Amino acid sequence: MGNHTKVRRLRRAPRKWPCPTCGTFGTRFAFRHREAVDAELGRPAVLKVKVGLYKARCDCQRVFESFHSELPKGWRFSRRVRELAVRGVVRDKLSVEDVRQRLREDFFVEVSEGCVHEWLAEAGGKNQPGP
């Protein structure tokens, strides 16, 4: 299908960023581009985030990276995708399979069952049946 991919660009790369371990600010020396699958109704979408690389002034690690809250490090899907999935199950009471189908058909996003379960677990205790 001839749907044009929608690109959403964000940036989170201030001059200084705190070390994730101790909070000491490091100084940006380079940029890095992160990319993830995003959700846009009716067309495929990609999220591109420009982040910074920081030289540490502490001893925790030499270099660290900033991140945007829409795309913490290591995520392959944007927060928007995760929230759609979680909301579908928690608020709309859909099954995981139905949520996957909705993402696939309405947003052109393909997610595994394991992914959705992981996001549900991460979305927090209050929506989960007790331990």
Binding region for Zn ion (CB under 5 A) = 19, 21-22, 24, 58, 60
- Closer to Zn ion by CB, 64 or 77: give it: 64
Matching residue, tokens 């979680």: 86
**Minimum distance from CB of 23 to Zn ion (Å)?**
7
Tokens 């579908």 locate to: 88
- d(CA 102, CA 84) in angstroms, rounded, equals 9
Of 10 and 58, CB closest to Zn ion: 58
**Nearer to Zn ion by C-beta: 66 or 78?**
66
Min CB(73)–Zn ion separation in Å: 16
C-beta closer to Zn ion: residue 58 or 96? 58
b/e sequence 13-25, b meaning 16+ C-beta within 10 Å: beeebebeeeeee
Task: Give the shortest CB-55-to-Zn ion separation in angstroms.
Answer: 12
Q: In the complex, what is the shortest distance from the CB of residue 32 to Zn ion, in angstroms, rounded to a whole number?
A: 19
∠ CA(10), CA(11), CA(13), 5° rounding?
A: 165
51 close to 67: Cβ distance less than 8 angstroms: yes
